[in-house]
Each structure stands twice: as C-alpha cells, then as structure tokens.
A = this chain, B = another copy of it.
Amino acid sequence: MSGPRIVVLAGGVGAARFLQGVLSLVAHTDVTVIGNVGDDVVFGGLHVSPDLDTVLYTLTDAIDEERGWGVRDDTSRALERSRALGFDPWFWLGDLDIGLHLARTAWLAEGSTLSDVTSRFAQAMGLRARLIPCTDDRLRTVIQTMDGEIDFQEYFVKRGHRDEVHGVRFDGAAGTSPAPGVLEALQGAAAILLAPSNPLISIAPILAVPGIREALEQRVVRCVAVSPIVAGAALRGPAADMLRSLGHDVSPLGVVDLYAGLIDAVVIDDADAQLAAAIEARGVSVVVADTIMRSAEARRNLAHAALQAAGIAERT
C-alpha cells in the first residue's frame, strides 16, 4: 500500500505550508520531515522548538493560520502575568503552547531525546507523517552582527531581525549526530525535497549535522529545492537581507548556488522565470510555478510541481 518515500528538509512556516501541499498529494506515512533545531531556545526555562512546533501544529490543523505559528485561539494569561510582574516576555508563548513546552522540557529532563518527545507529540496530535529533528544533540544557530554574536531568537524575535548579518554559525554542530532515522530516511528515500525555507538559517543548520550533507551529496535519487526567494524578496522573514549582506545573489540563483552539489532541480516562481537559463547552465533543472502558497490549492500545486520535478508519481 505504501508509495515512494519522500523526505523533506524543513524550516518553519514556509516549510509547514509546503508540507500541507505534499500531504494532500501522497500518503502521509510515506513522508518523513527532517526538522531544523538551530532556532530552538530555552525561554523562561521552557525548551521551545519553534520550527518543529510550526510543522507539527500546521500539519495537525492546530496552527494559528494568520500568524503562521503558535496555536489557534490560544490565550496569553501566563505571559501577560509575567509582564505585570515586570518581566519582558519578548518571546511570545500562548498558554496551550506552554503546555507542550512544559511537557517537552520535563521529558527532556527525564532523559528522553528530542526525537522521542517529538514523536510522542506527533502521535498524541494525530500526525501520521514522520517528523524527526535533524539531531537530538545541542545545535544552536548564532548570528554574527556588528554587536558580536547573538543567539538566533534574540536576533530574530527580540531584535526583530534588524541587525545586518555578518555571518551565521551553528554552535555545537560539529559534535552532533543525526537523530535516529534521519540517515536511514535519506538513504531509503525515493525523492528528497528542500522546503521553501531560508537556506542560511533553516536548511543550513540541518546540513551542518555531520552526515546529513554527505547523505545528500551521495544521493541516488533526485533532490529538489523550492526557492523561498521570489522576485528579489523573501515571502517572509529576513532571507533576502541575509543573502544580500552575506554576498549571495538575492534570487533563486543565489539559493541554487547555496545548494551546489545537493540538488538536481529547483522550483522557482513565475516572477523569476527569466532566471531559468542561468540556473540550468549550472546543471540544475528548473520548474516554474506559482510559489506563493496563498491557498490550500496553491500549496498543493506547488507540492505537485516539486514532486514532479523529483520524478514522483502522486496518488490521485
């Protein structure tokens, strides 16, 4: 009954929406999502895994669709109380969301791994696709700015990603191992997709786990990236500014160059169709599609384009 296995490397909001499209086209149990943990943060003692949670909440229809993250209809009694006590709750956590972080933190403290915990959440929430953190070890994205190195969430949330980024470092990456199942999933995949996530801070931390980049380099199946850059801008977040300040082309071309040796095809937006020839000159085939994902249909169409580029025949 099972079809070709699909592995998707995923960041947060864009990846989660793309995955909704993928899961509308293939059997959920055929999909393995390898999630970023570089933006994990301990806030007020709670271990928060923003990218894993965004994927989990989105794919189980718990997401606050408007914001793209957090739990729909959540309240903020805890955070408002902390504010009344003089605390600056710069990292927003809803009360329901806190329940999940509290469970995660407690289980981790008891010795569970992040992938165990994630799998328990996925099961409790009814996610049938497999969601695995890229590593169970500590890996943290650190942003290099004029003010020195700052933690990712401090850069991203507290300072509103306004700092010019001079470099990105994945603290601890060299000492990490892929979480159980990650390499097996990559090696058993019929296709690998890089979700439309920021290549520098969403996909790169995953690739920084020793063994994962190598598994992609040595792939025997097609790997397809979806460009998160459209017409010189990012749909969300600081990707465009980061590409620029780090000297990359702010276009799908820049994305393709960052994925050199890792991908066989890229899905780019209609608005960037004129770049197809330049990209193909680099040996990467191009599919042009609407990549904006405004609606469920758009997400499905984008996933369809990526799966086609990967040579996957969908169930219909």
The answer to whether A77 touches B105, judged by C-beta atoms less than 8 angstroms apart, is no
Q: Mark A108-141, 1 if CB is under 8 A from B, else 0.
A: 0100000000001101110000000000000000
Q: Which residues of B contact A95 (CB under 8 A)?
A: 75, 77-78, 81, 95, 98
Number of copies: 2
Q: Nearest chain B CB to A228's CB is how many angstroms away?
A: 30
Min distance, Cβ A43 to any Cβ of chain B, angstroms: 7
A115 vs chain B, min Cβ distance (A): 15
Whether the Cβ atoms of B87 and A103 lie closer than 8 Å is yes
| CB-based contact B106/A78 at 8 Å | no
Q: Which of A46, A78, A125 has the most CB of B within 10 A?
A: A78
Instruction: Report the bound CA distance from A79 to B123 in whole Å.
Output: 18
C-alpha gap A89/B85 in the complex (Å)? 25
Cα A94 to Cα B120 with chains together (Å): 24
**Bound-complex Cα distance A81 to B46 (A):** 15
CA distance A83 to B77 in the complex (A): 18
CB of A100 within 8 Å of the partner chain:
yes
**What chain B residues lie within 8 Å of A77 (beta carbons)?**
75, 77, 95-96, 99
Say whether A148 faces chain B, with CB atoms less than 8 Å apart. Answer: no
Instruction: Give the interface size bracket for A toward B.
Output: 35 or more
Kindly identify which residue among B86, B98, B101, B123 contacts A103, using a CB–CB cutoff of 8 Å: B86
Instruction: List the B side residues contacting A121 at CB < 8 Å.
Output: 85
Among residues of B, the one whose C-beta sits closest to the C-beta of A121 is B85
> Is A218 close to B, CB under 8 A?
no
Contacting pair A44 B86 (CB below 8 A): no
Across-interface contacts of A96 in B (CB, < 8 A):
77-78, 81
Contacts of A125 in B (CB 8 A): 85
Is A231 close to B, CB under 8 A?
Answer: no
> Whole-angstrom distance from the CB of A257 to the nearest CB of chain B?
39
Judging by beta carbons under 8 Å apart, are A44 and B44 in contact?
A: no
With A85-B99, A96-B81, A100-B82 as known contacts, state yes or no: A105 contacts B75, CB within 8 Å.
no
Contacts of A106 in B (CB 8 A): 43-45, 87
Taken together as a complex, chains A and B put the C-alpha atoms of A80 and B102 apart, in Å, by: 11
A–B Cβ pairs within 8 angstroms, 22 of them: A42-B45, A43-B102, A44-B101, A44-B106, A45-B106, A46-B102, A75-B77, A78-B99, A79-B99, A79-B102, A81-B98, A82-B99, A82-B103, A84-B124, A85-B100, A85-B103, A85-B124, A87-B106, A87-B107, A95-B95, A95-B98, A98-B102
A: which residues have CB within 8 A of B?
42-47, 75, 77-87, 89, 95-103, 105-107, 109, 120-121, 123-125
Which 6 pairs across A and B sit closest by C-beta, in order of nearness? A81-B99, A44-B102, A45-B105, A45-B45, A87-B103, A78-B99
